[in-house]
Structure 1
Amino acid sequence: MTPDGMEPATPTKSRIEYLEELGDALSARGFRVRLTLPRGQSPALHVANPAASALTETILVEQAPDGWWFWWSWSERITLADDVAGAADRIAAVLAAPL
């Protein structure tokens, strides 16, 4: 228990677990994904549209005061990390090949 009498928040998942779940959801939508673990940096998910090789993005997951969030590489939030389907839908829409 914390000094204020509240139960401490238990960690839900690790960054890698969140990114792996998102990678699975994006793979199921036909995207190529690669989890990267750069030395001294946070893990990231590289996502590529196989139909348009220029359409790629690196997705991060970071903890904020209001929970874990998926982030675009340009430092904009995507969705809460617990909303894997919502994040995958948004990423798929941004990386969709033009018709």
Structure 2
Amino acid sequence: MPANPREHTRTYFLAKLAGELERHGLTATLRADPPVLRVSDPDTVMLAETVDCVPLADGWFYRWSWGELVGLVDEPARAAERIVRVLSRG
């Protein structure tokens, strides 16, 4: 069964974020069903987080696994910087 347009949109935005995270030295693995990004620091294997993206009234946003928003999908570099900061505190 082909993915619906919303899943394609999620995959597109998550792939943009993955590229930014990899530029910061993190590992970002895109999972397909449902589309989520598994982010980890290769130097600290035990530290990892899952990020997805969701449409809200103000647009599409990246979101942590616990539901807090990371940032707008229109600003993947900024969202990546926030993820790097949070993972580096672990």
TM-score (norm. length: structure 2): 0.87
The answer for unaligned runs of 5 or more in structure 2 is: 1-5
Residue from 62, 77, 92 that aligns with 2:54: 62
Match of 2:67 in 1: 75
* Cα contact 1:51–1:97 (8 A) shared by 2: no
CA distance in 2, matches of 1:86, 1:25: 9
> How many residues align structurally?
84
CA distance in 2, matches of 1:24, 1:86: 12
Identity of aligned residues (%): 35
Deviations 1:22-49 (A, max 9, x none): 00000011001100012xxx30000000
Q: How does 1:1-12 map to 2 (within 5 A)?
A: none
User: Which of the two has higher C-alpha Rg?
Assistant: 1
Match of 1:19 in 2: 14
TM-score (norm. length: structure 1): 0.79
Give the aligned CA root-mean-square deviation in angstroms.
1.7
Structure 1's consecutive aligned runs of 4 or more residues displaced over 4 angstroms after TM superposition are none
